[in-house]
Chain A
Amino acid sequence: MGNEKEYIAIFDSHRELIDKPCARLLNTERAKALEIFKSSGFPGPKEENWLHTNVAKRFATDYGMNLGRVMAETGSHDIFICDVPNLNTHKAYIVNDSFRAADNKGKSLPQGVILDSLNEIAKKNPTLLEPYYNRLAGDGDSIAQFNTTFTQDGIVLYIPKNTTVEETIQIVALLQSNVEMMSNRRLLIILEENSKASLLLCDHSSLQKQTLSTQVTEIFIGRGASLDMYEVEETALTNTRLGHIFVHQDRDSRFKHSNITLTNGFTRNYVEVRLEGEGAETSINGLAIGDKKQHIDNRTIVDHKVSHCTSNELYKYILDEESTGVFAGRMLIRPGAQHSVSEQTNRNLCLTSCAHMYAQPQLEIYADDVKCSHGSTVGQLDENALFYMQQRGVPADEARHLLMYAFAGEVIEHIGIEALRDRLHMLVEKRFRGELNRCKGCNLCK
């Protein structure tokens, strides 16, 4: 292993450059994370949490890192629209790792809501972010530490107490570069007591060059607050996405997360939900569609730290050609977390003999008065159903698409926004038919 040494060397020789444009809060945490990363390095291929996903190798490419904060000269956000038909959203962009405001045509968010550059807000109002920034990711794995070490900007979304944001907030994240490039993004989402919001995150990358993004998202959901969060990944085979989501839920809060991997290269999503207050509810769902040599690894932890919390989890994979799926879902019921209800379902379809699925649902239970279950299956489409449809005149291929579509549908149905559901149904159907997803008026797709 030498990769981590190279990155540490880059850091050491550019420290001033990295620190200079950044808020003190980012730099303080950066120093702590660096020490942890130095001692741990990248995860090895035999580490239990990284089985089947050799992440160190992904860092071997000689990526460019925009440490000097040179702004990409194209106004990418003007050409990359990523509209969801029939859905009005309040938009913001992250191009590579920098926040870019969007033209929301005069619309404004409710009073007190902040949707802005993480770095700028950390400079302007450090006391607001101090109780939150890196408070969850600080305990994260070495990739999360890597992100904290190198990150210079991202987005902060802050919703004050008793505030409901009616319109969906859409964050379009875009990787764009003419050279091999890495970006380390950071999202910080804070919902105070009894606030409510829904968030759509669209992840895209340019098609030609090798790109890698680490993205650490920390989410704090206050007492009685509610967040719906939908992530759609439509990147390219050349992309590596290493995403972390850390969620802290207070009493009676609600969190709903759906992660849809439509197209990608090498993806690892880590979701950790800490249920810290009684009565908290969480629902995390995922749909992964893989073909070619795509690699999709979803790892989740739902940590029931206190009693009377509920968690639900549904992850589905459809793997075609030579794609690889990894799912590891851990449900942890801590001592004393009585009356926890936790249910996890993982269903996987392998369509070819070159597709690989590794499933690892895990229960770790230290309290007796709980209701916990998990189920995991790997199988194929129902041959009787295929034949039945064929007998009624549906061509075999069409029948297969219909069944795959139905299989995927269960996850999409968890999405609370109708327009987005429709959009995803359409995208998934197109995806199965092998058509590229194109949104109107988007230069990238033309």
Chain B
Amino acid sequence: MKKKNSLLKKLANKAYEFGFVSKIKTDIIETGLNEDTVRLISEKKNEPEWLLEFRLQAYRHWLTLDMPTWAHLEIPSIDYQAISYYADPLKKNKENKNKEIDPELMKTFEKLGIPLEERLALSGTAVDAVMDSVSVKTTFKEELKEKGIIFCSMSEAIQEYPDLVRQYLGTVVNYRDNFYAALNTAVFSDGSFVYIPKGVRCPMELSTYFRINAANTGQFERTLIVADDDSYVSYLEGCTAPMRDENQLHAAIVEIVVMENAEVKYSTVQNWYPGDAEGKGGVYNFVTKRGDCRGRNSKLSWTQVETGSAITWKYPSCILRGDNSQGEFYSVALTNNYQQADTGTKMIHLGKNTRSTIISKGISAGKSQNSYRGLVRVSKNADGARNYSQCDSLLLGDKCGAHTFPYMDIHNNSAIVEHEATTSKISEDQLFYCNQRGIGTEEAIGLIVNGYAKEVLNKLPMEFAIEAQKLLSVSLEGAVG
């Protein structure tokens, strides 16, 4: 007689698809972190004095902090002096202000499916490609400019639009917010900057593609999106990294400002290298993402599909400051092998009649640990606030863990806050039923998992959704048994 679970056993391990290393000449500064490192980064980027001051303040504050330990994660100690805080894959060309793009680099992004030549681009998507610490190319800049939309790298924005950057930078995520936010503020290298002017609906999806290539480097990008009154933008973010035995650190900040009647959709497909089947290597993904719905009737929607990284520590949040503002968080987090994820959101209701929705789908396989952690806070003056949270966990196998840690802090009696959570597994009956209809076990698991995650995948833009579906199936290969 076949043993129970035997149907779940036959899947083979498939290599991480994006695990190649590119041979690109890269300008890397020496490892280690001190005030001089911060000054050097600022100098390399030719930054104004106020920004250097901002970085130094953050650095000094960082020195007083310890790594947070409250998450359901086992984080090995990290030697912050063994990391290089700046890696630039672009060759410097002193005469020309525009850096020349190495053809190897173009190839790398093409391999990743991110063509940097506009004629090859995905229809209706403008891309900012970030390799290691530096933005290498932003497409469709000119077309967007005609509408007054600014979409460029953060370094460029600091040079070209210093006042705008200064007005908003650090106003959503203060460097005092947490350990990694302070670290990022001190050493952030590049990232994307988006400004959508009043009344403009951005005609195409904006997208940033992050890639860690160089060894022993951390990636500390910083993205700032400002949607002015009555504007709309949909923004996509994708990430990959090579397979390396040592761990790589990624500590990013994303800040979003949403003004009156404006709407921002932020979608992430995170596929950093998760480490191998034995838990060796992989990216530490410690990210602070937060949006401030400042204006009345503003709306911010986070959608994330998290399949990569050895460790994920990430809570994309919404501050619902404007009256009638809305926050949404849709998440699929999949962990396999020895991956650990502690991810969720914070919905901070400050304005009146604010609404938030949280849909979280966790999938745990192998020996992984997958936690949802989310806070819903309704402050004293947030009359009429509403929240609905649904957090489901799917367990594949009996060696993994699925955990749910919601926090509800309610300080207003007109609030209605609801949280529900369930756990389930893929039953042998479901698999056998699929088998009987001719669908192999591996494909059946893919189908069922995608069905389970559908509510979230539906929120992604079409092309991303298809990618995400494939990613879920691939990430589960070798998952069970």
Q: Given the interface contacts A372-B422, A373-B423, does A379 sit within 8 Å of B403 by beta carbon? A: no
Q: Is A61 an interface residue (CB 8 A)?
A: no
Query: Which residues of A (311-342) have their CB < 8 Å from a CB of B?
Result: 335-336, 338
Contact pick for B421, options A357, A363, A377, CB 8 Å: A363
Contact at A372–B407, with CB atoms within 8 Å? no
Q: Is A269 an interface residue (CB 8 A)?
A: no
Q: Is B277 an interface residue (CB 8 A)?
A: no
Instruction: Write the B396-411 contact mask toward A (1 if CB under 8 angstroms, else 0).
Output: 1111111111111111
Contact at A364–B398, with CB atoms within 8 Å? no
Contact at A365–B408, with CB atoms within 8 Å? no
Q: Is B414 an interface residue (CB 8 A)?
A: yes
Residue of B nearest to A358 (CB): B409
Binds B, one of A108-116, A257-265, A344-352: A344-352
Instruction: Write the A358-401 contact mask toward B (1 if CB under 8 angstroms, else 0).
Output: 11111111111111111111111000000000000000000000
Tell me the bound Cα distance from A363 to B391 in angstroms. 11
Instruction: Write the B409-432 contact mask toward A (1 if CB under 8 angstroms, else 0).
Output: 111111111111111010000000
Contact at B399–A348, with CB atoms within 8 Å? no
Q: Is B87 an interface residue (CB 8 A)?
A: no
Q: Given the interface contacts A356-B411, A368-B396, A378-B415, does A373 sit within 8 Å of B403 by beta carbon? A: no
Contact at A348–B410, with CB atoms within 8 Å? yes
Contact pick for A364, options B401, B419, B425, CB 8 Å: B401
Q: Is B50 an interface residue (CB 8 A)?
A: no
Tell me the bound Cα distance from A367 to B396 in angstroms. 9
Tell me the bound Cα distance from A147 to B399 in angstroms. 38
User: Hey, which chain A residues are within 8 Å of B408, CB to CB?
Assistant: 357-360, 376, 378
Contact at B398–A367, with CB atoms within 8 Å? yes
Residue of B nearest to A367 (CB): B398
User: Hey, which chain B residues are within 8 Å of A338, CB to CB?
Assistant: 398
Instruction: Write the B366-400 contact mask toward A (1 if CB under 8 angstroms, else 0).
Output: 00000000000010100000000000010111111
Q: Is A355 an interface residue (CB 8 A)?
A: yes
Contact at B416–A364, with CB atoms within 8 Å? no
User: Hey, which chain B residues are within 8 Å of A39, CB to CB?
Assistant: none
Contact at B401–A375, with CB atoms within 8 Å? no
User: Hey, which chain A residues are within 8 Å of B378, CB to CB?
Assistant: 378
Residue of A nearest to B406 (CB): A361
Q: Is A435 an interface residue (CB 8 A)?
A: no
Q: What number of A-B contacts does a CB cutoff of 8 Å give?
A: 112
Which size bracket describes the interface of A in this complex? 35 or more
Contact pick for A350, options B395, B415, B422, CB 8 Å: B415
Chain A at the B interface: SS class: strand
User: Hey, which chain A residues are within 8 Å of B395, CB to CB?
Assistant: 365, 367-368
Contact at B398–A48, with CB atoms within 8 Å? no
Query: Which residues of A (28-70) have their CB < 8 Å from a CB of B?
Result: 48
User: Hey, which chain A residues are within 8 Å of B416, CB to CB?
Assistant: 377-380
Contact at B410–A356, with CB atoms within 8 Å? yes
User: Hey, which chain B residues are within 8 Å of A357, CB to CB?
Assistant: 408-410
User: Hey, which chain B residues are within 8 Å of A369, CB to CB?
Assistant: 398, 425
User: Hey, which chain B residues are within 8 Å of A363, CB to CB?
Assistant: 393, 402-404, 421, 423
Tell me the bound Cα distance from A82 to B420 in angstroms. 40
Q: Given the interface contacts A48-B70, A348-B410, A363-B403, does A375 sit within 8 Å of B419 by beta carbon? A: yes
Instruction: Write the B57-83 contact mask toward A (1 if CB under 8 angstroms, else 0).
Output: 000000000000010100000000000
Contact at B393–A365, with CB atoms within 8 Å? yes
Q: Is A353 an interface residue (CB 8 A)?
A: yes
Residue of A nearest to B380 (CB): A353
Which size bracket describes the interface of B in this complex? 35 or more
B362: min CB distance to chain A, Å = 10
Contact pick for B418, options A355, A358, A377, CB 8 Å: A377
Contact at A378–B397, with CB atoms within 8 Å? no
Residue of A nearest to B397 (CB): A368
Contact at B414–A380, with CB atoms within 8 Å? yes
Contact at B414–A353, with CB atoms within 8 Å? yes
Contact pick for B401, options A348, A351, A359, A366, CB 8 Å: A366
A302: min CB distance to chain B, Å = 14
Tell me the bound Cα distance from A259 to B408 in angstroms. 22
Contact at B421–A375, with CB atoms within 8 Å? yes
Tell me the bound Cα distance from A366 to B399 in angstroms. 7
Residue of B nearest to A328 (CB): B407
Contact at A360–B405, with CB atoms within 8 Å? yes
User: Hey, which chain A residues are within 8 Å of B409, CB to CB?
Assistant: 356-358
B47: min CB distance to chain A, Å = 36
Q: Given the interface contacts A363-B393, A365-B401, does A353 sit within 8 Å of B413 by beta carbon? A: yes
User: Hey, which chain A residues are within 8 Å of B414, CB to CB?
Assistant: 353, 380
User: Hey, which chain A residues are within 8 Å of B413, CB to CB?
Assistant: 350-353, 355, 380
Residue of A nearest to B4 (CB): A369
User: Hey, which chain B residues are within 8 Å of A373, CB to CB?
Assistant: 420-423
Contact at A362–B419, with CB atoms within 8 Å? no
Query: Which residues of A (190-221) have their CB < 8 Å from a CB of B?
Result: none
User: Hey, which chain A residues are within 8 Å of B380, CB to CB?
Assistant: 353-354
Residue of A nearest to B427 (CB): A369
Residue of B nearest to A362 (CB): B405
Tell me the bound Cα distance from A221 to B397 in angstroms. 32
Contact at A372–B410, with CB atoms within 8 Å? no
Contact at A379–B417, with CB atoms within 8 Å? yes
Contact at A377–B398, with CB atoms within 8 Å? no
Tell me the bound Cα distance from A353 to B411 in angstroms. 6
Q: Given the interface contacts A369-B398, A372-B423, A380-B416, does A362 sit within 8 Å of B410 by beta carbon? A: no
B266: min CB distance to chain A, Å = 27
Q: Given the interface contacts A351-B413, A373-B420, A378-B417, does A365 sit within 8 Å of B402 by beta carbon? A: yes
Q: Given the interface contacts A356-B410, A361-B421, A368-B425, does A374 sit within 8 Å of B415 by beta carbon? A: no
User: Hey, which chain A residues are within 8 Å of B415, CB to CB?
Assistant: 350, 378-379
User: Hey, which chain A residues are within 8 Å of B401, CB to CB?
Assistant: 364-366
Residue of A nearest to B72 (CB): A364
A309: min CB distance to chain B, Å = 16
User: Hey, which chain B residues are within 8 Å of A358, CB to CB?
Assistant: 407-410
Tell me the bound Cα distance from A371 to B422 in angstroms. 8
Contact at B398–A336, with CB atoms within 8 Å? yes
| Residue with the greatest number of chain A CB neighbours at <10 A, chosen from B72, B380, B410, B418 | B410
Tell me the bound Cα distance from A192 to B413 in angstroms. 47
B253: min CB distance to chain A, Å = 24
Query: Which residues of A (110-145) have their CB < 8 Å from a CB of B?
Result: none
User: Hey, which chain B residues are within 8 Å of A365, CB to CB?
Assistant: 393, 395, 401-403, 423
Instruction: Write the A83-113 contact mask toward B (1 if CB under 8 angstroms, else 0).
Output: 0000000000000000000000000000000
B464: min CB distance to chain A, Å = 30
Tell me the bound Cα distance from A372 to B395 in angstroms. 12
User: Hey, which chain B residues are within 8 Å of A353, CB to CB?
Assistant: 380, 411-414
B467: min CB distance to chain A, Å = 28
Residue of A nearest to B378 (CB): A378
B431: min CB distance to chain A, Å = 13
Tell me the bound Cα distance from A117 to B133 in angstroms. 71
User: Hey, which chain A residues are within 8 Å of B72, CB to CB?
Assistant: 364
Residue of B nearest to A52 (CB): B409
B400: min CB distance to chain A, Å = 8
User: Hey, which chain A residues are within 8 Å of B420, CB to CB?
Assistant: 373-375
User: Hey, which chain A residues are within 8 Å of B422, CB to CB?
Assistant: 372-373
User: Hey, which chain B residues are within 8 Å of A356, CB to CB?
Assistant: 409-411
B residues sitting closer than 8 Å to A (CB atoms) are: 70, 72, 378, 380, 393, 395-423, 425
Additional 14 contacts, C-beta under 8 A, given A335-B399, A373-B421: A350-B412, A354-B380, A359-B419, A361-B406, A363-B404, A365-B403, A366-B398, A366-B401, A370-B425, A376-B406, A379-B415, A379-B416, A380-B414, A380-B416
Q: List 19 A-B contacts (CB under 8 A).
A: A336-B398, A350-B413, A353-B411, A356-B409, A356-B410, A357-B410, A358-B408, A358-B410, A359-B406, A359-B419, A361-B404, A362-B403, A363-B402, A364-B403, A365-B393, A372-B423, A373-B421, A377-B416, A379-B415
Which 5 A-B residue pairs are closest in the complex by CB-CB distance? Answer: A368-B395, A359-B408, A363-B404, A350-B413, A378-B417
